[in-house]
Amino acid sequence: MQINKIYNDDCLNVLNDKNKIEDNSIQLIFADPPYNLSGNGLKLVGNKTGGDYFMVNEEWDKMSFEEYKDFTNKWIKACKRILKENGSIFICCSYHNIGECTMGLKENGFKINNIITWQKTNAMPNLTRRVLTHSTEFIIWAVKGKNWIFNYEILKELNPERTKDGRKKQLRDVWQIPLCQGKERLKDENGKALHPTQKPEELLKRIILGFSNEGDIVFDPFAGSGTTPYVAKKYNRKFIAIEKEKNIIRLF
Ligand SMILES: C[S@@+](CC[C@H](N)C(=O)[O-])C[C@H]1O[C@@H](n2cnc3c(N)ncnc32)[C@H](O)[C@@H]1O
């Protein structure tokens, strides 16, 4: 099995190949799958987070309800095979797909420990003016067995909140983190955001430092621009990642 490798392939091909990823070998999985929400191309010109904003409208993000349920179940099942007994899986989702993700986890025998609410402090305005502005996504934390890694003190340190007298506080399940913006936002040669759903480094930092240790293998089946392997390497973890589209994985 090759470590520190990013496969350019469909995640199911790699996940189901025991030579590429062995049973019970991965400490931490961060999965940011397609949310199955693409539909139209509403856009907002000149916003602050990365230039013009295009609603996610990608071929990889368009499946029927049945196809999506089946796909979600398959990749979660395959993740169970590769996860260590004390490993953790984190799945990003929104109100669009949280049902399919929690069902997939339950059907495959995972235990859900927390659902983290990511409050996006710089969320896009709602253009229709007919519903509340969406400013949250969710990250489901689930485990395969007992004795999962939970670096309590590190997570306290990473919590930006302090008590009134300046002491560290336990990290709660609501995380206020801005959408990826400024220098962190990767751009292509035309200045357009390289990836429509690049996740902020801060989000990965909390998950990687809080739920794995140095030298552990972190796995991402939907690497996109490569945020997970990038942050894993930065904090001395090993990584394996998969992304099926060419030309969107950052070079590092
Ligand atoms: C929500 S994005 C991930 C973004 C990533 N977390 C980042 O920070 O850039 C989902 C990614 O999964 C990829 N993808 C979709 N279906 C896939 C599949 N079956 N196998 C591997 N990658 C897939 C898409 O090309 C897309 O880049």
What is d(CA 231, CA 201) in angstroms, rounded to the nearest whole number? Answer: 7
Q: What is the pLDDT of residue 251?
A: 63
Q: Reply yes or no on whether the pLDDT at 228 is more than 50.
A: yes
Indicate the top mutation candidate among 60, 76, 199 to test ligand 1's pocket, ranked by most ligand atoms within 8 A of CB. 60
Q: What is the pLDDT of residue 45?
A: 52
Mean per-residue pLDDT for 153-179?
A: 96
pTM metric for this prediction: 0.92
Ligand 1 atom at minimum distance from 243 CA: 22
Tens digit of each residue's pLDDT (9 = 90 or more) over 97-121: 999 999 999 999 999 999 999 999 9
Q: What is the pLDDT of residue 73?
A: 98
Tens digit of each residue's pLDDT (9 = 90 or more) over 21-71: 999 999 999 999 998 886 544 445 555 554 444 456 666 667 888 999 999
β-pairing verdict for 26-31 and 174-176: unpaired
**How far, in Å, is the centroid of ligand 1 from the Cα of 34?**
6
**How far, in Å, is the centroid of ligand 1 from the Cα of 149?**
26
**How far, in Å, is the centroid of ligand 1 from the Cα of 169?**
34
CB 46 within 8 A of CB 235: no
Q: At 98, which helix (H) or strand (E)? A: helix 98-107
Higher pLDDT, 31 or 189: 31
Q: What is the pLDDT of residue 52?
A: 47
**How far, in Å, is the centroid of ligand 1 from the Cα of 163?**
38
Residue 41 CA to its chain's centroid (Å): 23
Q: What is the pLDDT of residue 194?
A: 84
DSSP class of residue 147 equals: S
**How far, in Å, is the centroid of ligand 1 from the Cα of 127?**
26
Burial level of 140, CB count in 10 A (0-12/13-18/19+)? buried
Ligand 1 atom at minimum distance from 56 CA: 1
Domains (range + CATH), the chain: 5-242 (3.40.50.150)
